Structure 1
Amino acid sequence: MNNMNEINRSHIIISSQIEEQCAVLEARLAPNRVVSFIKDDFLIDDAKAVIREAYISESSTKYLILAAKTFNVYSQNSLLKILEEPPNNIELIIIVPGKSALLPTVRSRLPIIMEKEDSVITSVNIHFASLDLGVLFAFVKAHDRLSRHDAKKLIEGMFHQATVVEKLMLNSAQLSSFDKAYRLLELNGKLQSILLMILMPFLPEPRRAG
């Protein structure tokens, strides 16, 4: 943790030691009320339980800790409203082993104040700012037979390339394409179509219009 002010606000923690991080937080946040939801897989019913707890009124700050190895896409989508506009005196802390466990829309709503750099981001040979159709189709053809695990790593690498390496401010269509990609991967969608969906919004307008 960087300092006490940071852990007193809603945020995301990246750590492979999920249960240990949760125990540390519970101790540091005392005597405030802390309600922890620790799961292997965080599902829609778990999200509903968090939402119910969030709307139980409190006279002082209450912390909800959501900790899991994986977060179901539907559970994440159901949490977006309270992440963006939490009820009074409610702070939410998410603990996951890696950024790829969370949708871009979730990551964009909360600061990541602690990151364990024990995983390697997949590098991608593509430049979003100067993307053209030739590069787009060559990239898709080169990566359309990956396993679902490797495909998820590739998409995370693409998001990292666009937002961290190139420092692009993604518009709503571009951000939405990454969110949909994770959802379609869970449904065993065709990778070729998923990659096209991600890349098309990055083409210059005149070329996309044709």
Structure 2
Amino acid sequence: MFAFERGGILITSDIEGRAREIETSLSPLRTVLFMREDFKIEDAKEVIGEAYKSEENTKTLILGAKSFTIPAQNALLKILEEPPRNIVFILIAPNKSTFLPTVRSRLNLTQEHTQRHFEPLSITLKNLDLASLFAFVKENERLKKHEAKALLEQIAYHAIHIEKLPLSASQLEGLEKGIRLVELNSRFQSVLVMILMNFIREVKRGR
């Protein structure tokens, strides 16, 4: 069970719902919610400002977002390690990979195991060609960071569980590298081309 009173990281697909449940469970103690789509450096500064407002009783700051930028996480590191008196932090996101290892090392992490549902891909990976590759990239060129990561997870799921492809080491490494590059704000079109080209290479090899 997630120890709300001690804070920590909660990984769940229902970010806002779980944040509200935690807020209710902690009543009558004060909680402050910071719910964002993408948690940025200005949000981190707002949290830090709230954390340094003195409290006689425990105050819990709940930070929920689909993604947390690296500058925002770096800005929070010191206060997460040494929070002000009576301040507790709860960070909520859909994926463990959202958080830097340095953030995860400062807080206990609880992961809720929920069944992921993936929509079918609009391409077939086992006979992918350049025309369909670039049409797919064009279709997904404006995704937000959390959407881009979700698409890469969808591609991996589709390849393994739907098309049942025997993924090569190069394909697996490409998928892992792609998620890291998205976290670093690399251009998603380039990341997606890199990953999908690995599938075209395997098609040419007759896998």
Report the TM-score, using the length of structure 2 for normalisation.
0.60
Partner-residue secondary structure (3-state), 2:13: coil
1:182-197 equivalences in 2 (<5 Å): 185-188=184-187
Structure 1 unaligned segments of length 5 or more: list them: 123-137, 156-180, 192-210
Displacement after TM superposition at 1:105 (Å): 1.1
Q: 2:148 maps to what in 1?
A: none
Deviation by residue 1:84-127 (Cα, 9 ceiling, x = unmatched) = 1100000000010110111111111111134234458x7xxxxx
Q: CA RMSD in A?
A: 3.1
1:27-176 equivalences in 2 (<5 Å): 27-118=24-115, 142=170, 146=174, 151-152=178-179
Q: 2:16 maps to what in 1?
A: 19
**Does the 8 A contact of 1:64 with 1:92 survive in 2?**
yes
**Does the 8 A contact of 1:73 with 1:103 survive in 2?**
yes
Partner-residue secondary structure (3-state), 1:94: strand
Identity %: 43
Which amino acid letter does the alignment assign opposite residue 116 of structure 1? Answer: H
Structure 1 moving runs of 4+ over 3 Å:
117-120, 143-147, 187-191
Which amino acid letter does the alignment assign opposite residue 84 of structure 2? Answer: P
Q: Number of matched residues?
A: 143
Report the TM-score, using the length of structure 1 for normalisation.
0.59
Which amino acid letter does the alignment assign opposite residue 112 of structure 1? Answer: L
Pair 83,118 (structure 1): closer, same or farther in 2 beyond 3 Å: farther
Give the greater-gyration-radius structure (CA).
2
Pair 10,182 (structure 1): closer, same or farther in 2 beyond 3 Å: farther
Partner-residue secondary structure (3-state), 1:186: coil
Structure 2 unaligned segments of length 5 or more: list them: 117-152, 157-167, 192-207
